[in-house]
Amino acid sequence: MSKQGVTPQSENFSEWYNEIVYRADLAARSPVRGCIIIKPYGYELWEAIKGGLDRRFKATGHQNAYFPLFIPESYLRREAEHVEGFSPELAVVTVAGGKPLEEPLVVRPTSETVIGEAFSEWIQSYRDLPLLINQWANVVRWELRTRPFLRTTEFLWQEGHTAHATHDEAEAETLQMLDIYADFAINEAAIPVIKGQKSNIERFAGALRTYTIEAMMRDKKALQSGTSHNLGQNFAKAFDIKYLDERNELQYCWTTSWGVSTRMVGAVVMTHGDDQGLRLPPRIAPIQVAAVPIYRTEDDKGAVMETITRIVTELQAAGMRVHLDDRDQSPGFKFNDWEMRGVPLRLEIGPKDVENNKAVLVRRDVSGKAGKQFVEQAGLVDTVRDLLDDVQASMLQQAMEFRDSNIHPIDSYDAFKQVIEAGGWARAYWTGSDDDERRVKEETGATLRCYPLEQPAGDGGTCFYTNQRAERVALFAKAY
């Protein structure tokens, strides 16, 4: 056990994750199988993710809307591959108001179909394009094996849906949204994701192409953290989404969809957390600074509280998210609590600090004495701001170094098996068939995570599995 009484990551990462989610007050168990209650601290973390993405969506011309939770079952059947991909996960309502429904209603697993129907009514002319819509909503997928935030029966997400006049415009949109996801993950969540294209068997049901951001967790497993799909004209033809072009001829639209969910909360936990609890990047942390007063006597208390309250007010006025912990608990209890919750900085003020015009700052990303420093109260706003920036950069750097040290180039199937068995990611040229890819998964447990968009220079190499000429490098790993 760690000093917090948590199962160490090295002993059982899955147990560590579950314990951290609940002990850090992100979530609570629900009476419904496979569902969780997202508690205020966890929801504030989701709101930070939501806010960072929503600003980016609106800056690129997207508008938010909301579509019904219930979808007529017949809608899903219009796109055969789509319904086949989701059939095992559907929750279906057959009775409402005490009477059987004439047509069953599917509880939203995703909204391509109902939004496609709306688009067919809204789009008439090329002047109506592009149509750029995003929805913040909940969805339901009846999962057999669930894990809080990572895979739950009900979860929160955003789903973007757009319609365009040409394939190239739809492809540009798909890649633009992938870039937005990567920008948020890297620069705000401090998760060094890899942008790539999914293989044929891993693409979204009904899509022409699926792109992904893949992240490495602390147990070295991959987590698909966001996807962006070029749907081609499949949904446009299924839902008759047409427009009159400039020559007054009817054309089918080209559509896209893209989404990030509360799985991103799980990604933050598993990318940065340690045996003491969460470690949250300052830019998305609900609380950036936890201020803890330290005193023994009532005389000390008055002076300490006056000083720490003044400092907290100054930091808050400068736009920082600061919480004054005035609970009737010992300082040691509070230190452990904020460490578990992953607050980036802890501010301590005691009687001697009041006398000497000093303050103590403790970084969550650096353990032990190395993370503790004594600073002047004068200029503390700038000191704290600079330190938060440094913590943000440090956490990204740590995650990047961990990721890069566990991705291994290989050139044979034997080497591939060794890397996967050891828990790493394998990077290699690949030209195998869909059946080859399935066999690799069956034999090793590893899936083709993506073909990275950044490919090595040159004219290709030799596939590690077929020994045939291959043009692209792929990443393989065990995944959530």
* CATH code of the domain covering residue 411: 3.30.110.30
Task: Please calculate the CA angle 226-189-311 and round it to the nearest 5 degrees.
Answer: 155
Max Cα distance, the chain (Å) = 84
Q: Which structural domain, as residue segments, surrounds residue 450?
A: 407-477
Mean pLDDT, contiguous 10-residue spans, the chain (480 residues): 83 97 97 95 98 98 98 84 71 95 94 94 98 97 90 96 98 98 98 98 93 98 98 94 97 97 98 97 98 94 97 98 96 97 98 97 95 97 98 98 98 98 97 98 98 95 97 97
Stated length of the chain: 480
Do 341 and 278 form a contact (C-beta atoms < 8 A)? yes
Nearest to 76 by CA among 45, 111, 42, 52: 111
Do 228 and 198 touch, CB atoms closer than 8 A? Answer: no
Residues 369 and 231 in one domain: no
Q: Domain total for the chain?
A: 3
Structural domain includes residue 279? no
Q: Are residues 438 and 339 in the same domain?
A: no
Domain termination residue (choose one: 240, 272, 304): 272
Residue 198 domain flag: yes
242 & 293 share domain: no
Q: Are residues 179 and 260 in the same domain?
A: yes
End-to-end Cα, the chain, rounded Å: 25
Predicted local distance difference test score (pLDDT) of residue 78: 79
Same domain, residue pair 73 and 119 = yes
| One domain for residues 296 and 434 | no
Q: Nearest Cα to 118, choosing from 135, 94, 104?
A: 135
Residue 439 to residue 433: CA distance in whole angstroms: 10
DSSP string, 246-272: TTS-EEE-EEEEEEEETHHHHHHHHHH
Query: What are the structure tokens assigned to 105, written together?
Result: 């209603």
Question: Does residue 383 sit in the same domain as residue 435?
Answer: no
Q: Say whether 466 sits in a helix, a strand or coil.
A: coil
Residues 213, 362 within the same domain? no
Query: What local confidence, expressed as pLDDT, does residue 439 receive?
Result: 98
CATH number at residue 238: 3.30.930.10
Statement to judge: residues 199 and 297 lie in one domain: no
Q: Say yes or no: 79 and 21 in one domain.
A: yes
The closest of 416, 461, 408 to 436, measured between CA atoms, is 416
Kindly state whether residue 239 falls inside one of the protein's structural domains: yes
- Three-class SS state of 43: helix
Pick the last residue of a domain from 272, 303, 327. Answer: 272
Residue 43 falls within a domain, yes or no? yes
448 & 371 share domain: no
Q: Please indicate, yes or no, whether residues 386 and 427 belong to a single structural domain of this protein.
A: no
The pLDDT score that the predictor gives to residue 143 is: 82
Looking at 331, 360, 390, the residue that finishes a domain is 390
Starting from the edge strand earliest in sequence, which strands make up the sheet with 425-429, in order?
A: 63-64, 131-140, 154-164, 254-261, 222-230, 209-216, 194-197, 447-452, 473-477, 425-429, 407-409
In a domain, 140, yes or no: yes
For 174, 211, 260, 417, the CA distances from 130, given in Å and listed in that order, are: 13, 20, 22, 46
Q: What is the CATH number of the domain that holds 376?
A: 3.40.50.800
Q: Cα-flanking dihedrals φ and ψ of residue 165, to 5°?
A: -80, -25
Assigned domain for 195 exists = yes
In a domain, 277, yes or no: no
Q: In this structure, is residue 105 part of a structural domain?
A: yes
Cα–chain-centroid distance for residue 242? 34
